[in-house]
Amino acid sequence: MPGNEPENFVVIRLGSLGDVVLTTGVLQAWHARTGARFIFVTKKAFAPVLEKHPAIKEIITVPGKYLTTPGWLNFCRLLARRFRDLQLIDLHCSLRSRILRAMWPCRTFAYPKMALHRRMFGLTGMDLFGRELLKSNIPQRYFRALYPRPPARDTLEPRIHLSSAEKAEARETLSRSGITLASQHTPSRPLIALHPYATHPAKAWPTDNWLALATLLEDRGMDWVIIGRENYSLLPDSSRDLTSRTDIRQTCALLEHCCALVTGDSGPMHLARAVHTPLVALFGPTTREWGFFPAAKNSLVLESELPCRPCSLHGRLKNTCTAPCMHHITPSRVLDALNRITSGSSTLNTD
- Point out the least confidently predicted range of 39-43, 100-104, 231-235, 315-319: 315-319
Greater confidence (310 vs 160) lies with 160
Percentage of residues in the chain having pLDDT higher than 90: 82
- Point out the least confidently predicted range of 45-54, 77-86, 174-183, 266-275: 174-183
Our CA dihedral for 204, 208, 214, 219, rounded to 10 degrees, sits at -150
Greater confidence (346 vs 262) lies with 262
pLDDT value at position 255? Answer: 98
Distances (CA, A) of 4 to 1, 34, 36, 146, 148: 10, 5, 9, 12, 15
Instruction: Kindly report, as residue ranges, where domains of CATH 3.40.50.2000 are found in the chain.
Output: 8-156, 164-342
Mean pLDDT of the residues in the chain: 92
**Res 240 pLDDT > 70:** yes
Greater confidence (281 vs 3) lies with 281
Distances (CA, A) of 278 to 40, 221, 237, 320: 28, 19, 27, 34
User: Considering the domain 8-156 in this protein, what is its CATH number?
Assistant: 3.40.50.2000
pLDDT tens sequence across 20-50: 999 999 999 999 999 999 999 999 999 999 9
Domain 164-342 architecture: 3-Layer(aba) Sandwich (3.40)
